[in-house]
Every structure is written in structure tokens, then in C-alpha cells.
Amino acid sequence: MKLRKQLAASLLAAALAVSAIPMVPRVYAAEPVSTAARAEIPLQTASGRDSAHVSELDGTWKFGGQNLSDKKALSADYSSWSDVTIPHTWNATDGEDGGGNYVRTSYWYHREFTVKDISKKRIYIEFLGSNTKTDLYINGKKAGERHKGGYTAFRYDITDLVKSGSNKMDVRVDNTIDQEIAPISGDFNMYGGRYRRVYLIEVDDVHIDLADNGSSGLFLTTGNMRSQSRPADLGEFKASAKIVNDGNTAKKISVTTHIEGENAPADTTEDIEIKAGSAYQFEKNCKVENPTLWEGADYSKNSDQKNVGYSYKVTLTLKENGTVIDEVSDKIGFRYFYIDSSNNGESGEGFFLNGKKYPLRGVNRHSCLAGVGSAMTEGQHDQDMEIMKELGINTVRLCHYPHTDYFYDLCDENGIIVWTEIPLVNIPGSAAAFEDVTKAQLTELIKQQ
């Protein structure tokens, strides 16, 4: 959600307030996710779309082919490989036994999937997290460049590689140390595998851009909310999106902006025309009069909880001749904050939220479990949140890398202030490309959150 971006930058100035806080101890064991429970898990896609456009590539995958070349892996006898489900890591055991000798290598994942209709569509594969280097092959052909980095979402456009009916997918994942890719070292494990969910996304030729650093393509931007007093533009924001036409004919479409929440304004609709093979930069200035503010967690006796984690839902809908062809949603929370620091010659009273003093009390959190490694389920993330709420926290540092969107959303909904970071830990890599790859990881984190 968009309320995190300015907070993340400002909380860096409050490092001493949380840097010494201990990790949350977790000793509960992993439990398999039942078929019924899986059916209730909401889509975690970073695309901002619903099941009309997104389906999870769940079920059984074949896993094996350690250190195989692409030529050998693509012609392998998969019947001898193991059956696994996603989320998955090959370090669930050796990465959690304290030996410090967990396997860092490459493996392959294989499965078949079905595309019913490829006409007038763009088709993508979305990975929410795959560590550390990932290569995708569709029907034996490589789909784009290798993705470098293990903690943010990314996509491949596979439109030109698929056919109607059954298709083959092969994924190579490698968690060996690479001097181009952070982290080079750290006090945590760099678990190998596809440890977050994977989705198939199908959209019309005309759609909100899916090629922008793993983001949904919809961006909600407020003014500067770092203020001691209520900003004059509180409740105002800009909704922007790049709308692309990958077809071979010009298209006339309507774009509707819908805001859901208290005092939300009426819908607005604009008609636009996009030439074939081009894009239209959509921008809409929006305003919620006297908005309900996002309030932080409050554990005081008889406290009013109704505005804790309050957010507005913003939806951008594209229609052609009255038919919905794409729809993307995101949430935004309105709040303002300030850090009163003695380092700046101020009184040193600390953090203020919505004009009130709000001391930050929290924990550091890693995203891993014994017997599970990094391949945590939503239920296990829920358990972590419940433990933190039981401790009475209002702040969490998600160390040392971007965590799953699911947990960011849990924090937003429960009024937990988030400090997030990229995995630039201890030392930089020695390769010339290290700086550019690290900047790309930061760009993905910002645009996806």
C-alpha cells in the first residue's frame, strides 16, 4: 500500500529507536496447507488484478536436475524428479539446522499448464519470490532475460511462446553466491527455490502496463505528508497508469476511477484513444474531503479501534464498448507523520503520527521457519502477526530484504508501521554490475509497495 513509501524513508532517521530490538522467537512447526484452506487463500498477485485475469499455478511441480545445463534439463526424464508444491525451498531443512552449511546450488522446476485462448491477449508468468537468479523457459524456449534478485516480484511476457492448449514450463533457480547480486553476506540464509506463489496472468491487448518492475502499473501518489500539523492537501492524491495497446489496431476505451471509503468522491470516467503499438499516460487528480485517517495500533484500555489500519480502495477500470477489458486495484491510507529529533536541534520527543506523539515499539522480523525455511504459508505469516500483536508492538523492521506483499498488507491492516529495506548487507559485490543490480532491487521494492 502506498502509505509505506514516505514512512520507510523517514524511519531511517529513527534507526536507533528500533535497531537494537530483538528478533521475534518462533518455535512452532510447519503444517501442510489443506486443499480447503488453499481454496480460501486470496490471490497474492502483485498485478492488482482479480481472478478474472489471474490464476495460480499451484498443484504439483517436478523438482530436480541439480546443476543441469538448460539443454539437459529441457530434455530430462522428469519421472525421476521429486514432486513438490509452491511455495518451496530446497533449504527447508539444512538451512534451519544451525550448521551453516546449507546447499547453495541450482535446481529446475517443471510442469505443464493450459492456456485456453491466446487471441487478442497478452500472457504473463508472475513470480512473487524466487531466490536468487531465475531463468524461465516456455515450450523449450527462453522467455526473456534472467531475473537477478530474490525478494521482489517479477514477470515474463510469454505471449509469443505459448499456444492454445497444453504448454510446458521449465524454471531454473540458482542461489549460489553471485558478486553482481545482493546480498553477498548476512546473518541470515539465502534460501534457494521458488518460495512464494506463481501466477498466470491473461489480459487484453489493451491493458495497464505489466512491464514496470513487477508493479501493478497503478500508482497512487500523495504530497509530502511529513508534517507536525495537518497538511492542507491531506486526502489529495494522483492516480496514474501507463495504458498500453499491444494490438495492431487503434482502440477507443473508457477509463473509470473508483474510490471506496468514507467520504469518497463520485466515480469519474474519461474516454481515450490509443494507437496500435503505443501507450497512453493516464493521470487523474483525486481528492477525498475530510478523509478518515489511517491510525496506528493502539493497545491502551478502552481505545477506539475503528480507524486502526483504515484505508481507501482505488480501482481503475478499462472498458471497450461497455465491456471490462482490464481492472486494477490498490489501497491508500491517509496520514501524516513527523520525527522530532534532537540531532536536528529539536526537543527529541520522537515519532508523531497524525499530530500525536506515537512512540515506536517493535521487533525485527525475518521471514523463515524451522522445517519450512523461507517457504512460509499465509497461515504462518498470520501466526507471526498474532505473536507481534500479543507483544503489543506498533512497529516492525522487516529485515534484511523485502518480505512478501501479504505481510506488508497485514501490517497495513493492523496499524503496524513498517521499516523495509533491500538486502544490501555488510559488503558490496565486487562485480561491475553490482550497483545497477542493487538499484534495480530498490526500484522493484519502491514500485511494488
| Span 256-273, average pLDDT | 98
pLDDT in tens, 190-246: 999 999 999 999 999 999 999 999 999 999 999 999 999 999 999 999 999 999 999
Q: At 62, list the grid cell.
A: 517436478
- Whole-prediction pTM value? 0.92
Candidate CATH numbers 3.40.50.12780, 3.40.50.720, 3.40.50.1820, 3.20.20.80; the one for domain 339-448: 3.20.20.80
Neighbours of 129 (CB within 10 A): 27
pLDDT in tens, 335-374: 999 999 888 778 889 999 999 999 999 999 999 999 999 9
Q: Give me the pLDDT at residue 38, please.
A: 45
- Quick check: 397 and 363 in contact, CB under 8 A? yes
Q: What's the CATH code, domain 42-203?
A: 2.60.120.260
Going by C-alpha positions, the residue among 367, 449, 441, 409 that lies closest to residue 196 is 367
- Sequence spans of domains, the chain: 42-203, 218-332, 339-448
User: What single string gives the DSSP state of each residue in 126-176?
Assistant: EES--BSEEEEEETTEE-SSPEE-SSS-EEEE-GGG--SEEEEEEEEEE-S
Q: Give me the pLDDT at residue 2, please.
A: 52
The yes or no reply on domain 218-332 and CATH 1.10.490.10 is no
- Quick check: 231 and 335 in contact, CB under 8 A? no
| Span 35-56, average pLDDT | 81
The SS3 assignment for 10 reads helix
How far is the C-alpha of 126 from the C-alpha of 154, rounded, in Å?
6
